[in-house]
């Protein structure tokens, strides 16, 4: 029997937030070490269609390589150092495959919010590929991952490929007046929004319509408390230690 996504209030952004290299296994381990029950991470496709974790379109900022991720094979990407850019303590931390991270999350009991982050022009195929990979990787798990994306086209493709996986539409400014129509059309369970777009009235409207509401990226304790008081279900944070202390 499938269990609903758990929606803990604190979600570790990109795995380890600011405290470990983003979108790496070391990041997921940091989240566990700090008592987090859920992580968010970004998944895209290599040139040869392997699902792996990376935020940007290029590897320049977070690895020792350069160039577009979309043009590089997994064999090449998996050799890069994705840890040294943060500190030498994480030297040689690799870019992880989606399969590696899924396996660690199962083992650690971490819930996953998988953000589908397509390379430009690959929205539909990435949505489909990530959903099919998630279906297979979580086949023996009762709690499925929550799939989200800014790319609505990716979510439509993901939902068409694997209707049973819960999904969330991710938004940035401007606030879309048709949010309810858009959520309904893909049978979403949640709206995941830039925290700066939230007002008490908007939170109430989304909650009254029956959706969960998650806010990114909240690194200020007072703001997090205000959002929680308004009824926001969860926040993505880079400040793992600070938030855990404030909310435990």
Instruction: Give φ, ψ of 28 to 5 degrees.
Output: -65, -40
If one asks whether residue 239 binds Mg ion (CB under 5 A), the answer comes out as no
Question: Quick check: is 13 catalytic?
Answer: yes
CA distance 7 to 4: 9
Contacts with ligand G3P, residue ranges (CB under 6 A): 13, 40, 42, 55, 115, 148, 170, 192, 216, 236
Q: Residue 192 binds what, of ligand G3P, Mg ion, none (CB under 5 to 8 Å, by partner type)? A: ligand G3P
Q: Residue 30 binds what, of ligand G3P, Mg ion, none (CB under 5 to 8 Å, by partner type)? A: none
Closest CB to ligand G3P among residues 179, 236: 236
CA distance 130 to 183: 19
Closest CB to ligand G3P among residues 30, 42: 42
- Alpha carbon separation from 51 to 57, 85, 129 (Å, rounded): 14, 22, 8
Do residues 227 and 235 touch, judged by C-beta distance below 8 A? yes
Q: x/- site string to Mg ion, residues 170 to 209, per CB under 5 A?
A: ----------------------------------------
Strands (E) across 69-140 are located at 111-116
Q: How far is CA 71 from the centre of its chain?
A: 23
- Alpha carbon separation from 216 to 12, 95, 114, 233, 238 (Å, rounded): 10, 23, 14, 12, 10
Closest CB to ligand G3P among residues 13, 128: 13
Question: Quick check: is 107 catalytic?
Answer: no
Q: Which member of 18, 37, 55, 106 is catalytic?
A: 55
Q: Residue 237 binds what, of ligand G3P, Mg ion, none (CB under 5 to 8 Å, by partner type)? A: none
At its nearest, how many Å lie between ligand G3P and the CB of residue 14?
6
User: What count of other Cβ atoms lies within 10 Å of the Cβ of residue 245?
Assistant: 11
Closest CB to ligand G3P among residues 53, 79: 53
Task: Identify the bridge partners of residue 167 per DSSP, sorted by sequence position.
Answer: 147
For Mg ion, the binding residue among 22, 30, 42, 195 (CB under 5 A) is: 42
Footprint of Mg ion on 59-118 (CB under 5 A): 115
Residues that bind Mg ion (CB under 5 A): 42, 115
């Amino acid at each position: 029997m499938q269990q609903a996504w758990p929606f803990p209030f604190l979600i570790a952004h990109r795995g380890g937030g600011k405290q470990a290299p983003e979108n790496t296994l070391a990041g997921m381990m940091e989240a566990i070490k700090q008592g987090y029950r859920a992580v968010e991470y970004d998944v895209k496709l290599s040139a040869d269609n392997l699902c792996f974790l990376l935020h940007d379109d290029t590897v320049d900022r977070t690895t020792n390589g350069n160039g577009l991720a979309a043009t590089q094979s997994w064999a090449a990407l998996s050799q890069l150092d994705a840890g040294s850019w943060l500190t030498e303590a994480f030297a040689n931390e690799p870019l992880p495959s989606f399969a590696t991270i899924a396996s660690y999350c199962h083992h650690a009991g971490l819930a996953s919010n998988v953000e589908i982050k397509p390379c430009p022009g690959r929205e539909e195929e990435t949505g489909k590929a990530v959903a099919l990979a998630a279906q297979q990787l979580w086949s023996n798990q009762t709690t499925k991952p929550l799939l989200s994306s800014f790319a609505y086209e990716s979510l439509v493709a993901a939902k068409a490929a694997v209707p049973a996986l819960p999904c969330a539409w991710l938004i940035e400014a401007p606030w879309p007046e048709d949010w309810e129509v858009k959520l309904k059309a893909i049978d979403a369970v949640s709206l995941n929004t830039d925290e700066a777009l939230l007002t008490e009235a908007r939170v109430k409207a989304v909650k009254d319509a029956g959706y969960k509401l998650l806010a990114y990226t909240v690194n200020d304790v007072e703001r997090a408390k205000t959002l929680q008081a308004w009824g926001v279900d969860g926040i993505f944070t880079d400040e793992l230690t600070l938030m855990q202390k404030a909310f435990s």
